[in-house]
Amino acid sequence: MSLKIGIVGLPNVGKSTLFRALTRNDIDIANYPFCTIEPNVGIVEVPDERLQKISAISKSEKTTPTVIEFVDIAGLVAGAHKGEGLGNKFLSHIREVDAVCQVVRNFVNPDITHVHNEINPENDIEIINTELIMADLETIKKRLEALE
């Protein structure tokens, strides 16, 4: 069983850069919102010296290391749960992961645009958390309606 981690955040905060560093996949990175539309997926083997030792002791014919699957998900914007930006697409991709890794920008670089034209990590985290909560509430609401 592998772990599937979704990398999320506002547009242009470094999600694809982190994904590229973790997976060594050569993906497009650009200075404009929604450079990533369809998620990038990369699989990384988890190094574990114990696995090789156990494999040698047990004389296994095949050794399969565990893997982590990273998913670089398109940038999230306020109102995504209402369908704004790539909202519905974003939310469908986030539902498929086991864990969420939030990337938040906390650096100033005039050459890299920020979706809100200001660097405010606390506000960015609040937007991301609110959108994830609202998406969960929408899912719960639909399921409750189906039960009635």
Q: What is the pLDDT of residues 58-71, one digit of tens each?
A: 988 888 889 999 99
Determine the 3-state secondary structure of 130 from DSSP. Answer: helix
In Å, what is the CA distance from 125 to each residue of 39, 89, 133? 21, 20, 12
pLDDT of 140 strictly over 80: yes
Give the separation between CA 74 and CA 40, rounded to whole angstroms. Answer: 9
| Residue pLDDT, tens place only, 74-110 | 777 777 666 655 556 667 778 889 999 999 998 888 8
Secondary structure letter of residue 80 according to DSSP: G
Determine how many CB atoms are found less than 10 A away from the CB of residue 10: 25
The answer for residues whose C-beta is within 8 angstroms of residue 27's C-beta and 6 or more apart is 16, 19, 20, 36, 40, 72
- Give this prediction's pTM: 0.78
* Average pLDDT in the chain: 83
